[in-house]
Every structure is written in C-alpha cells, then in structure tokens.
Structure 1
Amino acid sequence: MVGTSSARLPVVPMGGDGVKDRRLRWLLGSSALSNLGDGIGKVAFPLLAASITRDPILIAGLSATAFLPWLLFATVSGALVDRVDRRRAMLIANLSRAVIVGGLGLLVLADATTIWLLYVMALLLGAVETVADNAAQALVPAVVPRDQLESANGKLQSVEIVGQTFLGGPLGSLTFAVFAAMPFLLNSAGFAIAAVLLIGINGRFRPVVTGPTQSLRVQLGEGVRWLRGNALMVRLAVFAATMALATELAQALLVLYALQDIHLSEATFGVFALVGGAGGIIGAFTAPRLTRALSRRTVLVGSIVCCGLAFTAMSVSKDPVTASLLFGGFAAAVVVVNVILGSLRHALVPDHLFGRVLGVWRTAVWGAIPVGALLGGLLATWLGTRAVFAISGVLQLALAAAVWFALAGHRGEVDSMSTAGTP
C-alpha cells in the first residue's frame, strides 16, 4: 500500500444491523431531497439560459461552469472531508446551496437575471456541491456492511435518478412554464429539508487522528501518492474521465437537441428527461444483478457499448419517442457504469484516505466535464447538434474497446474486489 497515515477508521456506535439500516434510510432520504432539488435546477438552469440566449457556446458554457469547481476544488474539498465530521459537512453544504439557489429565485422574480449571473450562480453551487458529494460518498462505508456496498450504491443511484430526472426534470420544466422563479424556490426548499434529515444519522463520522495533525498539503500529497501507486485505480480514473468528456460533448447540448432537433416544447422537455430517469432506475436496480451473473469487466464494457450505440442512434433519430427511448437506454447503461465504479472505489480505497482519493478522482473525472461541454458547444456551432451526438457515440465505442483490453490484467481484482482498502 502506497502512503502512510496517522488516521484510522472513524469510531461510530454500531448497535447492530438495525442501526446501520436506519442510518442508510436517513442518508437515502436526505439524498433523495437534495437530488430532487438538483433535478429541478438542472432543467430550470438551461431553460432559463435558453430564454436569454440560443447561442450554443453560451448554453454549453453554462454546463461547463457548473462542473468547473470539480476541476478547481475537488481535491481540496476531499482533503477537507477527511479532516471534519462528514455528516456535518453535508449538512452545512446543503444549507449553503439552499441559500444560493433561493437567492437566484428572488432575482428571477425581480427580473434581474443575465446569462453571466447564471454563470456565477452555477459556479457557486458547484463549489459547494464538491463538499456535499465528497462527504456523501465518504459516508457510505460507515452506514452499510461491506458486503452490501454494491446494493447501497445502487440505492443511492436510484434516489439520485428519481430525484434528478424522474421527478425533478418534469417538475422543473412544468414549474418553469408556470413562472420562471418557481423551480428555483422549490430547489432551495429541497436542499433545506435535505439538511434537516441528516440530523437523523447519529454517530461520529470524522476519521480519528492517532498521531500529530498533518498539514493540508501533506494530506493532499498522501492521497495523490496512494492513487498513483494503485494501477487499477489509475486506469479506472482515466477511463471515467474519458467517458465523462465523451458523454458531456452531447449532454451539454441536450436542451438544444430536444427543443430544436426533435421539436419538443419547454414543458415537454421534462417528459423527455423523465424517460431518461426511468432508464436510470432500471440500470440502478439491474446493476447488482448483472454483476452477480457476469464478470464486472464484461458488464462495465457492455454498458459503455450501450451508451455509445444510444448516442449514435440519437444523432439520426427524428422521432421524439424514439429519441427519448434511446436516451433512456443511455441512462440505464451509464448508471450501471457508475454503480460499478462507485463500488470499486469504496472497496479499494482505505476509509481514512477516501475523501482525498475521491477528490483527486473527481478533479480528473468531473474536471473533464466542462472540457467536454465547451468542445461540444464549439463542434455544434460548426457541425450541428446531431453531429456532436454521433461523435460522442463513436468515442464511447472506442473507449469500450480500450477498457476491455486495459482491464485484462486486473480481472481478479475487479471481479472479486479482493484488494479492498483497509488502513
């Protein structure tokens, strides 16, 4: 194991499986509400932007700005999560998001919004989100037994999809059609209630330091060294970053694809997202079953292939129903990918290093998203939205082949997760 540490696993009162079940339920409840707020916002933000401008570069730039904080702050926020109580970090982050998006709702009511104001708000929300999401991921191994990691990750993916897409998407578009400020005010309420629900997760969730307190710089270096010394994690991070860039080429333009290429209205755009949410739910529930029936390597590569085929087909589809079903297939496949990668991270990374390693991972992976969004906007300006979906699909198919061959030497680790990290 690369790197040493002066920390050990957090001391938390266990009280049997029933206590852990209750903790998971509170975490799932909080995640459901915060993801509902996210889902409303992720539809309302591009719709508000599209009501201000139809410039594809500015629309894609808004998506890039939302993810830019992961490139700038993910590593630092990951180190922060390893120094503080993770539940408290989530609580404060959700309250902060409630204030930020609530303020935006008031500005929309006052008709005082510009595209640049949306950029600023997206940047602020993204910065706080790096803390909230890193802390939530770090909490998972503390609230579920080790043999239930894949199931717990599937449940978290389910509530994320239900909140963000299945409910949040349609609710965001419908409330935006009523009046533009309404989805942002609902978004704020969702974050506030999510913060309150975290109070139900009792226990300590801060890694206990057994030696001298290390500086932030030293702790960051420790996380980077561990990741660099684990060949499998490095390869998975590279694949995830490439996948994020390739998919975001097209996803950043989804609102323009829906409104201009398949001619949906602003209200029905949420229904389009609803089909994607349904696909995501299917993916979340089938991922654990697929990994029990087949090797994780096979399921991972097969899912990436499905993602690529879906976007390639969307590039030529003219029927809204067909396009929606294809997007649902993409959502199902990408959720399976996320469940597998999330479970491997939880199994491979030691708890006391998890926040820092996850921060480095997300700096690379989520930092690729704004790059993909901006490239997608530029390509759409020159070639059109449909061409961008085709390019994205082909890139994902090429990535699937690369993943299959690159993981050939790690089949035992991937399929058994036997190298699971412990301090």
Structure 2
Amino acid sequence: MRAPVSARLGADFTKLWTASAVSNIGDGVTMAAGPLLVASISDNPALIAGAVFAQQLPWLLFALISGAYADRLDRRRLVVAVNLVRAVALAGLAATVATETVTVAIIYAVLFLLGSGETLTDTAMSALLPSVVAPDKLPSANARLYASFTIGNQFVAKPLGAWLFVISAALPFGLDAFTFAVAAALIANIRPVPVPVQPRQRVSLGGEIAAGVRWLWRHRLLRTLAVTMGLGNIAFGAAFAVFVLYCRQRLDLSDVGYGFLLTAFAVGGLFGTTVAARLTRAFGSTTLLRAGLIIEVVTHVTLATTTTPWVAAVILIVFSIHAMVWGITVTSVRQRTVPAPLRGRVGSVYALLDLGGAALGSLLGGLFASVWEITTPFWIAATMMTTITALAWHRLREATA
C-alpha cells in the first residue's frame, strides 16, 4: 500500500517529470542534428527526407499495437527497457560518426528504432502518470510535463543540437544516449504500483482496434476532423521534410541559423497554449478551426515565395500558434464527444492519422524536391490545403455545437 501523494505532487512525480524533461532535450538535439548528419553525407533531398520518414514510420506501423501493449505490460519496466535500448542504439550511432564509418543505412536503422521506442514510451508514460499522481493533481502534473517538453525539446534542444553538431558531429547523439540512460534510471526508481486486473471478457486485439475505428468513422464531425488532420499532415510532412535544405538553399542560412529558425515553432507553440482557451471562448471552435486551415494555406504559400529568413520566422511562429490552438481545440471536441470506454482506441486512430500522415508526407516531400525544385513541396502542400479547406469548411460548423 503506497503512501498518499503529497500536495507537491510527490517524489515519484519529480522523478518522472525529470526523466521526461531530460529525454525531451535529448530527443530535440537528435531531431536537429539528424538531418544535418544526413546532409553532411549526401545532398540528395530524397535521402534527407528519408531520415525524417524513418523515425516517423513506426507511428504508421505500430501506433495502435503499442497502445494495446502499454496496457498489457508493466509500464514502468517497459519505459526503462525501451530507454536503455535507445541509449545503446544512439551510443552506437555516435561511435560510427566519431570513427567516420557512419552510413545512411545506419542512420535510418537507428532513427527507425528510436521511433519504434517512442510509440511505446509515449503511450506508457501517459498511462503511468495516474499511478504516480493523485487524480486531483493530474491537471497540474500534465501542465508541468507539457511545459518541460515545449521549453526543453523546442527552445533549448534545437539550437543546442545544431551547435553541438558544428563542434563535433558525434556529440549530439552521444548526449542523447546519455539522456536516455538517465531517464531510465529515474523511472526505475519510481515505486512499483501493482494494478489489480479486473476480470473481463476476452476480446482480440484486432477486435478492440476495429471497434474504435468503426465508432470514429460513423461520427461525421470527428471523421471530418480525423481525415482533415491526416491529409493536412501529409501536406505538412511533404513541405517540411526537406526543411534543412530549404534553409540552406532558399534562405541561405548556416547550420546554427537553421537550428534557431526551428525555435520559431516553439515560440508560437508556447504562446498558443496560453491563448487557446480564451480564443475558444471568444470565437468558438468552428471559427478557430476554419481560421487554422486558412493559416495553413498562407504558411505554405509564404514559404514557397520568400527568400528572407525573418519572414519565414514570422510565418512559422503564426503557424505554430495555429497548430497548438488547433490541437487543443480538436482534443477538447473529441473528449466531449467520445464515450469513456472508447477514448483510448479512438485517440490511437488520431495518432495514427496524425503521425502516419506526417511520415507519408516526409517520404513524398523528398521525392518532389528531388524531381522538381526545393519549393515544390510547399506549393503542393498549399494546393492540398486549399482543397481540404473547401471540403471541410461546411462540416466544421458542428464543432462549436
């Protein structure tokens, strides 16, 4: 029997929060340094986009399955084991970079392994939190976790990753390996919480997943939002898969400049979290969702036409404000609508469309940029989002109701 959780969220939450913050910094460093590493080996847009695709592909393949297994296994031990595997993989990558034996195939393999682990740990960490924090403290705990992600992964890690890569190409990946090892040690020291298994009728994994998919598809508004999100992320993924080359060739930025431009996303995202609720109260969900679709079109057109870094930075800030407001709005609509027993499965379908769409877009973006110009993916994304906006506009009126 464990002691009551303190009013300050407790020592176990501190360990979980610290583990999350440390690993988020490592993740962000690798996200910035990974494309730079591939670009140092090859200037082929398809190969660079393939690195992004390799890390996103596991969400397309394993999102639904990982969610199910995170409920079936000991979540604390699962997170520890996966983090240790990721630490070893990154240490190996750092060694090949340091010895100049790294290849694109090695990079792809490590990034795929990292992405596969992420599908398990992200789901398990979210499910582990209620075992660590009292129910009435969950909003405060989640706010701290999200703030640490935004500040660590977006603000600190992106420019840090680019800066470390300039100093030594192996350094960012060695740092990330260390952060995963630290995170594993912290999670291992969280007190085990036995969860009694309630007897229930056995249903196959496929049957449970199918029930969630059927429910979502039969709900007109949520179906519209899910399809819009999936297609929108294909457009986004296609445009931003070659962003490192876009910054070099179109904006004439250095590697460090590329890292700082990435923080523009974080600036807008952090601001978006502070205004989302007020904007919803002032304008309603329908207006925000429709405005978001327009912002997507304008963003892609602006990036396709500008050659000025500060213009790109401003539009990226606006885009990330929209992305955060859109995400919060859609999540709120879904939580109000989906029955409690189906929220996990319906949520996993959203994750599949969200990250799976981005993975597919990353693959396509590299191919488009290889065949045509570096700005071609942005023009295609603008065309796609214009079509999506026209098709979804009428259906989104139901969001506010």
Assess if the C-alpha contact under 8 Å between 2:290 and 2:396 holds in 1. no
Change (3 A) 1:155 1:386: farther
Give me the whole-angstrom Cα distance separating, in 1, the residues matched to 2:142 and 2:287.
Answer: 19
2:20 is equivalent to residue 59 of structure 1:
no
Change (3 A) 1:247 1:139: farther
Give unmatched runs, 5+ long, in structure 2. Answer: none
Find the residue that maps to 1:46 and give its secondary structure. Answer: helix
2:256 maps to: 267
- How far did residue 264 of structure 1 move? 0.8
1:129 maps to: 118
Change (3 A) 1:140 1:110: same
Find the residue that maps to 1:411 and give its secondary structure. Answer: coil
Q: Percent identity?
A: 35
Give me the whole-angstrom Cα distance separating, in 2, the residues matched to 1:275 and 1:407.
Answer: 29
2:24 equivalent among 35, 59, 83: 35
Give me the whole-angstrom Cα distance separating, in 1, the residues matched to 2:40 and 2:50.
Answer: 15
2:238 is equivalent to residue 249 of structure 1:
yes
Assess if the C-alpha contact under 8 Å between 1:91 and 1:195 holds in 2. yes
2:58 equivalent among 56, 69, 76: 69
Change (3 A) 1:171 1:239: same
- How far did residue 69 of structure 1 move? 1.0
Give unmatched runs, 5+ long, in structure 1. Answer: 1-11, 413-423
Matches within 5 A, 1:228-307: 228-307=217-296
Of the structure 1 ranges 97-106 and 301-310, higher mean CA displacement relative to structure 2 is found in: 301-310
2:161 maps to: 172
- How far did residue 225 of structure 1 move? 4.1
1:322 equivalent among 270, 287, 311: 311
Of the structure 1 ranges 173-182 and 190-199, higher mean CA displacement relative to structure 2 is found in: 190-199
The Cα RMSD (Å) is 3.1
So what's the TM-score if we normalise by structure 2? 0.87
Letter in 1 for 2:267: A
Letter in 2 for 1:334: A
Find the residue that maps to 2:253 and give its secondary structure. Answer: coil
- How far did residue 161 of structure 1 move? 2.8
1:162 equivalent among 151, 154, 160: 151
Assess if the C-alpha contact under 8 Å between 1:86 and 1:206 holds in 2. no
Map Cα deviations across residues 136-165 of structure 1 (whole Å, 9 max, x no partner): 34456775858986x876655443332222
Matches within 5 A, 1:1-400: 15=4, 18=7, 27-139=16-128, 143=133, 156-198=145-187, 204=193, 208-346=197-335, 348-349=337-338, 353-400=342-389
Assess if the C-alpha contact under 8 Å between 1:76 and 1:359 holds in 2. no
Change (3 A) 1:160 1:171: same
Map Cα deviations across residues 96-118 of structure 1 (whole Å, 9 max, x no partner): 22222122112211211111111
Find the residue that maps to 1:315 and give its secondary structure. Answer: helix
Assess if the C-alpha contact under 8 Å between 2:221 and 2:398 holds in 1. no
Change (3 A) 1:146 1:219: farther
Give me the whole-angstrom Cα distance separating, in 1, the residues matched to 2:9 and 2:123.
Answer: 20
Of the structure 1 ranges 326-335 and 164-173, higher mean CA displacement relative to structure 2 is found in: 326-335
Give me the whole-angstrom Cα distance separating, in 2, the residues matched to 1:90 and 1:17.
Answer: 24
Of the structure 1 ranges 359-368 and 243-252, higher mean CA displacement relative to structure 2 is found in: 359-368
Give me the whole-angstrom Cα distance separating, in 1, the residues matched to 2:391 and 2:5.
Answer: 43
Report the count of equivalent residues. 400
- How far did residue 53 of structure 1 move? 0.4
Change (3 A) 1:16 1:31: closer
Of the structure 1 ranges 214-223 and 261-270, higher mean CA displacement relative to structure 2 is found in: 214-223
Give me the whole-angstrom Cα distance separating, in 1, the residues matched to 2:288 and 2:128.
Answer: 26
Give me the whole-angstrom Cα distance separating, in 1, the residues matched to 2:388 and 2:44.
Answer: 30
Change (3 A) 1:154 1:18: closer
So what's the TM-score if we normalise by structure 1? 0.83
Change (3 A) 1:300 1:230: same
Change (3 A) 1:357 1:322: same
- How far did residue 341 of structure 1 move? 3.2
Give me the whole-angstrom Cα distance separating, in 2, the residues matched to 1:253 and 1:184.
Answer: 21
Of the structure 1 ranges 173-182 and 399-408, higher mean CA displacement relative to structure 2 is found in: 399-408
Find the residue that maps to 2:271 and give its secondary structure. Answer: helix
Give me the whole-angstrom Cα distance separating, in 1, the residues matched to 2:201 and 2:309.
Answer: 60
Of the structure 1 ranges 374-383 and 311-320, higher mean CA displacement relative to structure 2 is found in: 374-383
Find the residue that maps to 1:18 and give its secondary structure. Answer: coil
Change (3 A) 1:386 1:146: farther
Letter in 1 for 2:258: F
Assess if the C-alpha contact under 8 Å between 1:91 and 1:198 holds in 2. yes
Assess if the C-alpha contact under 8 Å between 1:174 and 1:267 holds in 2. yes
1:7 maps to: none
Give me the whole-angstrom Cα distance separating, in 1, the residues matched to 2:226 and 2:392.
Answer: 11
- How far did residue 381 of structure 1 move? 2.3
